[in-house]
Structure 1
C-alpha cells in the first residue's frame, strides 16, 4: 500500500511531472496575496477615506489589471504564471514533448484569460450573492414580489453551484494523485496545457531571450523602438511587482493566516474606526452643506427623520430608507465617507416609541 502511494510525495529526478504539493502550493501563493492586499487597502481607506476610498471601491478592478500585467509578462517570458514560475514550473501543450519552449498563441491567450478572469468573476459573484443575502435580511420589499422570488431562487441554488465547482476541482486533484492524471485543475485542461518542471535548457533559453531582446532593440526603426520601449515599460512594471511579491509573499501569507484565524480581531478592526471630525458649530454664521441645523432632520432628505437609524461606522443618524439606499449604492457613510455596509445600520428606539 505504501509503495502504491509513494509517487504522491516523492518524484524521481527524471520525472518532469510536479508533485501534488508543488501544484497546490503554487495555487495558494496567489490565493494568499489577494486577501492580504485587500486588507491593507481597507486599512488605508479607513484611515483616510478621501484619499484612499477610490482604491477601496475599485480594488477588484485594479487588482485584476495588475494581475493581467503580471501574468502576461510571465506567460510570454517563461510560459508560466507568476506562481508557477516561482515554484520552478512551466506550461506545455497537452500531448507535446517536455522540451517545448514557448506556448502557442491559442494556448497562451486561453491561459491568460483563465488565470485572470476566472478569479475576478468568482469574487464578483460572491459579492453579488452576499449583497442579495443582505437585501433579503434588511430590505423592505414585498416578500411576494418577483424580485424577491428571484433573490430567493439565486440564494437557494448558489450553494449547490459552489459545491459542484469545488467537487469538479477535487475530482481532478484526486485523479492527478491516484491515477497519474496530466492536470490537477480543470482550468489547465480548458486551456489545453499541462504543468511540468523547468529544466536547465529552459533557464538558459530564457537568459538568451533577454539577451536577444536587448540586442535587437538597438537596430530597429523609430516606431518599432517606441513599441519596444512601451513593452519594456510594462514588463518592468510587472517585473518590479513580481519581485516585491517574491520578497513579501511569506509576509502576505502570514497576514492571510492571521486575519482568517483571529476572527474576533477582524471584527474589532471593523468597529474601531477613527472618530469623525466634529461638525461645524451651528450657532455660528457658517453652515455645513452635509449636516442640517436641526438635530431632528435627516442629512440626506432634509426632512424630519422617520424610523431613526444610525451608522455604526460613524454614529450619524438618518432615516432608515435614506441610509439603506445610500449605503447600498455607495458603500460608505454620506457624512464621514467611512466604508460602510448594510449590517452597520443600527435601529434607534426612542423612549416614547
Structure 2
C-alpha cells in the first residue's frame, strides 16, 4: 500500500474517509523501510562509520520517532502522518485546543512503543523458527522458546484480524475507530478545517478594506500556505520516489549489495593460522560441524557458533562487516 503515501487528502467535514485513514497509515509504513535502506547502503559502503547505526537502527529510529510524534501531538493534536493528511485527534475529555497529557502518552504508547515491541517480537519469532527448523537448534531450544514459536503465529493472526475487522467496520460506518489502538487511546479522528475557515474569513473582506497590518498578515498567510503546500507536495513525492528506489534495488539489484562491500584483507599467518585451515571454525577453533557460511564475508563457521555471534554482535567475527542472521547460508558437503 506504498502508493497510498502520495495521495492528497480530501477536504471534508467531521469523519475522514477510509482512504484518508489508510493513506496516513501507509505513510507510516513507508518511511521506516525507506530510511533503513538508506542506512544500509551507507553501512555497506562505510561499515566502520555507519555499521553501528544499522545494528541499532530500530532503537535509534524509535527514539527519533518518539520525539517527533510527541511534538506533533502536543502542537497539532495529531501524529506526523495524520497532520500530513489534515487529520486531527479529538478527545471527549478535551477542554481546550490541546490534547490532555494522558491522551498524549496513550497515543505515544500505541503509535511508537507498541509497533516497536511488535517488530522485535516478529524478529525474535523468525530467529527462533529458523533455529527450530534445524536439528541441532531444536535440541538446544528451551521449553519457553518452543512455546513461543508455537503460540506466536496465533497471536499475530489475532492482531492482524482485529485491525482488519475494525477497518471493515469503519468503512461501512459501523464503528468510529479504524483501529483498536485508536479506541484504546480514547480519541477519534476528524478533518482539520481550521485553516480553511480562517482563509474564508480573510477572503470575505475586500482587499481595499483591509488595513496595512491586515494586508501584511494576508500576504504572510498566503506565503506560508504556499510554502506548506510546496513542502508537503515535495515530501510526498520524495517519499514515493524513495519507496520506488527501495523496491527497485530490492527486486532488481539486491545481488549487488554483497559485492559492494570492500574485499577483506587476507588473514595473517601469525594470528589466524587455525582460522586459515580448511575445516577449522574461526570462532571455536575446532573442527567445524554443521558448516555455515556468512555471505557478507565468505568465511565458514559452525552453525551454533556463527548464529550466536551474529545474533549478539551483528557483525562478522573475522572482517567486522555488519551482518544479520539472514546472511547465514547452510553448506551441505557431500562425501567424495
Please, what TM-score do these two structures have when normalized by structure 1? 0.72
Query: Using the alignment, how far apart are the partners of 1:291 and 1:113 within structure 2?
Result: 52
CA contact (8 A) 2:275 2:285 kept: no
- In structure 2, the residue corresponding to 1:132 is in which secondary structure? helix
Aligned mate of 1:30, from 28, 35, 46: 28
Shift of the alpha carbon at 1:122? 1.1
Which residue of structure 2 lines up, in the alignment, with residue 318 of structure 1? 301
Q: Residue 28 and residue 203 in structure 1: after superposition, are their counterparts in 2 closer, same or farther (change >3 A)? A: farther
Q: Residue 291 and residue 248 in structure 1: after superposition, are their counterparts in 2 closer, same or farther (change >3 A)? A: farther
Answer yes or no: is 1:341 the counterpart of 2:328. Answer: no
Which residue of structure 2 lines up, in the alignment, with residue 268 of structure 1? 255
Aligned mate of 2:243, from 256, 259, 272: 256
Query: Using the alignment, how far apart are the partners of 2:131 and 2:20 within structure 1?
Result: 41
Answer yes or no: is 1:117 the counterpart of 2:102. Answer: no
CA contact (8 A) 1:311 1:317 kept: yes
Shift of the alpha carbon at 1:342? 3.7
Query: Using the alignment, how far apart are the partners of 1:26 and 1:119 within structure 2?
Result: 15
Map 1:93-132; keep pairs closer than 5 Å.
93-94=91-92, 101-132=97-128
- In structure 2, the residue corresponding to 1:169 is in which secondary structure? helix
Aligned mate of 2:165, from 171, 174, 180: 171
Q: How many residues align structurally?
A: 295
CA contact (8 A) 1:68 1:112 kept: yes
Q: Residue 90 and residue 53 in structure 1: after superposition, are their counterparts in 2 closer, same or farther (change >3 A)? A: same
Which residue of structure 2 lines up, in the alignment, with residue 182 of structure 1? 176
- In structure 2, the residue corresponding to 1:91 is in which secondary structure? strand
Stretches of structure 2 lacking an aligned partner (at least 5 in a row)? 1-8, 199-229
Over residues 63-87 of structure 1, what are the superposed CA-to-partner deviations in whole Å (9 max), with x where a residue is unaligned? 0110011011111111111111111
- In structure 1, the residue corresponding to 2:90 is in which secondary structure? strand
Q: What do you get for the CA RMSD once the two structures are aligned?
A: 3.3
Over residues 173-231 of structure 1, what are the superposed CA-to-partner deviations in whole Å (9 max), with x where a residue is unaligned? 22222125322111111111111111226997xxxxxxxxxxxxxxxxxxxxxxxxxxx
Stretches of structure 1 lacking an aligned partner (at least 5 in a row)? 1-9, 205-242
Q: Residue 305 and residue 186 in structure 1: after superposition, are their counterparts in 2 closer, same or farther (change >3 A)? A: closer
